Structure 1
Amino acid sequence: MSSVSYAVFWLLLTVILAVIELSTMGLITIWFAIGSAVTIIVALLGGNIWVQLFTFVIVSTVILLTVRPIAASHFNNQIKKTNIDAIVGRKLIVKTDIDNIKGTGKVEMDGSTWLAASSIDEVVIEAGAEVRVVRVQGAKLIVEREVI
């Protein structure tokens, strides 16, 4: 194959990888698309197939390992937690004493009353105390006393 044929192959691969990245937004294939784009230049300069493959693998890997973590942290900080993920970690006020032995306890969250249980069975949390949600178990919030 001629250097132009190799360059066309790398160009097609670049486009395919870029389209995959645009459709998934996973920040994975974009780095390989960049690697194949750099390899187009190597192909046009007459590098043999082994040099092209080496360039593709090295450039893709180096960019993936160095730039992806920075880009991922930049993009992922815009994601809003929803549903249960948004509840865990919230600080709430106890409405009625939380006593796992008696099976009592309620907290208020966003104007709604939720059943609550202590994350430690023997601990009773009095009404008015501030608690933090540690997990959700069915329709019940498992909480622990917030330490100030």
Structure 2
Amino acid sequence: MNAGWLWWVGGALLLGIAEMISLDLIFLMLAGGAIAGAVANALGASVPVQIVVAAGTAVVLLFALRPWLLRHLRARTTLVETNAAALVGRTAVVVTPTTEAGGRVKLAGEVWSARAGQEGAVFPAGAEVRVSRIEGATAVVVAQQDAPHG
């Protein structure tokens, strides 16, 4: 009895585990292709046909099903910003005077390089500012009243 389908199912399981780590639905689509390869093997197809069926199914799933799934998943789940993106809009305290040329602010318990996001702005030590964006490892800050809230 041909047990080649077990290799395809094993590959699908490994891809499923990789999907649990990545959560981007790419490995899930590849796992779907591996399952199609297992079905082709179980139906008695040759190895080249199994590979074509697996690859073709994975491509169709990647370009047809994945965008639809992502669209519906994002519509149902709120996006939680992480890392530097989560710092935009937060209040920071100026540690050293901050101008367009540079300075330092205390943001989320850490001291960051900073620069003023407005021409001619000077923020003295102790002033509260709002982070308008993060550029590399530098927080671009604006006056509290000038920052959009949200």
Q: What TM bracket, shorter-length normalisation?
A: 0.5 to 0.7
State the match for 1:38 in structure 2: 36
CA 1:141 to 1:120, structure 2 compared with 1: closer, same or farther past 3 Å?
closer
Over the aligned positions, Cα root-mean-square deviation in angstroms equals 4.4
Shift of 1:83: 5.2
Unaligned runs of 5+ in 2: 92-97, 108-113, 124-129
Kindly provide the amino acid, as one letter, of the partner of residue 30 in structure 2.
F
Contact 1:134 1:143 in 2 (8 A): no
State the match for 1:84 in structure 2: 84
State the match for 1:142 in structure 2: 141
Contact 1:136 1:142 in 2 (8 A): no
State the match for 2:95 in structure 1: none
CA distance in 2, matches of 1:11, 1:137: 43
In structure 2, which of residues 40, 51, 54 is the aligned counterpart of residue 53 of structure 1? 51
In structure 2, which of residues 11, 17, 20 is the aligned counterpart of residue 19 of structure 1? 17
Structure with higher Rg: it is 1
CA distance in 2, matches of 1:69, 1:8: 29
CA 1:6 to 1:139, structure 2 compared with 1: closer, same or farther past 3 Å?
closer
Runs of 4+ in structure 1 deviating by more than 4 angstroms, as ranges, are 136-141
CA 1:72 to 1:141, structure 2 compared with 1: closer, same or farther past 3 Å?
same
Identity within the alignment, %: 19
CA distance in 1, matches of 2:34, 2:115: 55
After superposition, the C-alpha distances for 1:49-93 in whole angstroms (9 at most, x for unaligned) are: 1111101111111211232233345259534124532232x387x
Shift of 1:40: 1.8
Contact 2:8 2:37 in 1 (8 A): yes
CA distance in 2, matches of 1:5, 1:137: 52
Shift of 1:123: 5.5
What secondary structure sits across from 1:78 in the alignment? coil
Kindly provide the amino acid, as one letter, of the partner of residue 86 in structure 1.
A
State the match for 1:113 in structure 2: none
**Equivalent runs, 1:81-120 vs 2, <5 Å:** 81-82=81-82, 84-88=84-88, 90=89, 100=99, 118-120=116-118
TM (norm. structure 2) is 0.59
State the match for 1:95 in structure 2: none
